[in-house]
A and B are shown apart, each in its own frame.
Chain A
Amino acid sequence: MTFIPDNITVYFTAGCAISAAMFFIRSKAINYLLYLPFMALQVWFTWAQTCCLYQIEDRYFEADGIAIIFLSVITLLSILTPFHNYFYAEGRKDSIKEISQHNAVFVFFVLMMTGVLISAHIGLMWAFLEATTLCASLLIFHERSTIALEASWKYIFICSIGIAMAFIGILFLGIASQDANALNLSLENLGNNTIRMDPNWLKLSFLFVVTGFSVKMGIMPLFMVDIDAKDAAPSPISAMFSGGLMNVGFVAIFRFYQLFAHTRIHNWMNHVLMINAVLCILFAAVYIMRVKNYKRLLAYSSMEHGGIALLAVSAGGVGYYAAVLHLVLHSLTKAGLFYQIGQVKRMFQGKNFDRVGDYMRLNPWGGSVLLLGFICVIAMPPSGLFISEFMTFKALLDKGYTYVFIGVVLLLTIVLYGMGRSFMKLLFAPLPEGVTYNKISPWESISQLVLLGAVIYMGVHPPEVITEFIKHSVNTLPY
């Protein structure tokens, strides 16, 4: 009998091999060249999964619409991030040991995120998510400073506790599924049987899962370590956290939402998510007025957008579509902004508000990226985020949540003011005395312009294939 490996096996084996090669080969050129086969592997795998949409390859993996959408985003970012990793390492004059460790863990991190997205078994999804935590903590630790140490310790510890909470949620779902005689925890089997399960266990399970996975998505209640992580990690990695990991956390929560959406607890879940979303936006608004450095500012902005996505899900109807679209666009915008803030940090040797200024004149290309990114991230037209937020509010008003709508809009105004104040200071305020700066090549801003251009293009004229995939991923949900 000949053994023909399937796509999944090829992908994980080749990915692990590349990661191991990066770890053990201590040569800078080879290390960065190894990114090429990795990018090719990632693109091939995304393509292969898109082709076999909804065909279960085996019991444990299946790619559905939402997996493909977010997998494509991760693939795009995992192609762009290595370049910024390179600039970042050159700027810090990292040793070859640090570079090879960082690259190897980065590749493994992307593999694990992909694993979460395509898992069709809840236990397996959990295991992949925990693995992303482990990789992420090593990536955060890259600078080896005391702040990085603190952030990575807090991240791995609180994440592990959070993910343990989520596991309890999975076990509660297991109890519920036993009562319905559905022993197998695969998504397909559970989806067919949740309707017969005890709603109280399902409610408990959902609460634990949202609490646990909130640490991955960076939303209430366990958002704090995620903010610290985005602050202390290298900027390209922060971009991966905001653009990749956040979606992965969302998918993890969304899988449970999909499972329970046809049961009696659907309305109750919507209310839980809505309260969570409003709290997210509230906390983000408060902290955005208080933060002192740009990376934390962007991190809190991610939390605000996570809140908006949850709000869209809780509103239902057109909101499901809006939530997925919002997260996709937010990923591209925020990744672009984090890449650019990394440059700002290298240019002024700092990321605090009091050490920067006059960026538009000193680096017109980078300044344009930030200005464009600012317009995109606050969801001002022509940004695509405007469309998704508009749909979210439409869904809210359709369902009669007028007061929630008014409250959220007021909070978003505060966010807009806070973000605008900080961004305008960086772009146009005169440089504080005594601050020196380095020159940065304008070529480094190209990838950001491409990302932000895509955000605007998708707002003005969303490509049909993308809207189809998003519709695919949410069409099973009840109105």
Chain B
Amino acid sequence: MSAGHAHALYVHGDSRVHALPAHVKLVALLIVIVAVVATPRERVGVFAAHAVVIIAAAACAHLSPRFIGGRLLIGAPFLAFAFLLPFVGGGDRVVVGALSLSVGGLWGAWSVLVKGTLALAASVVVTATTPVPALLAGLSRLRVPVVITEIAGFMVRYLEVIAGEMHRAKVAMAARGYQPRWAWQGTALATSAGALFIRSHERGERVYDAMLSRGYQGRLPQLDATAATPADWVRALALPLCAAAAAALAVII
């Protein structure tokens, strides 16, 4: 059985950011993301201010720039799409070397790039400083519908179990001489995906039996409650409110 260690997202630490209650951090994150998204794309200076806010939070959490940079790579596939915009966009065009680029497309690409990266960086700071169970508890404290947090919780709980089953299936295929080139792994993956689906479904039934056996009647009990003090709110919201103020000014002026 694969007993993976530590949630993939969480970085252990004891900084002030780690110590804040999860739901407070989630509210702070939401404010930063709204501020970033609401900032008009032409106000480059305001994005710089947002970046300073996020870097300050990361520094408080003792997260290295290298770590944040690594995590930001997950956004790369989405940003690749942004790089198409200058080529396919309409309207005025500008010639750069041998390329004719759409001005609107360039702004579009910039907008996706900067907003996506900043929002992702802010999320990285929160997820790296909050264990997943606390994050889920924070979400339900913020009145996110129980069904959604429950589904997310089960996903977190069984992702590693199912990944372990998939890994064993792959090893079993390799042990019988199956050595696909990279591009053909898809075939094996597709075949085993069916088997994996059935197995996961059966596991779901067994888990449900286990839940019934302990008195489950359609509603998970609410178990977590970490209260936040006013000081927690002030500490967590100081930086996000700076970002929000900057965004508001950029919109008004």
A binds B: no
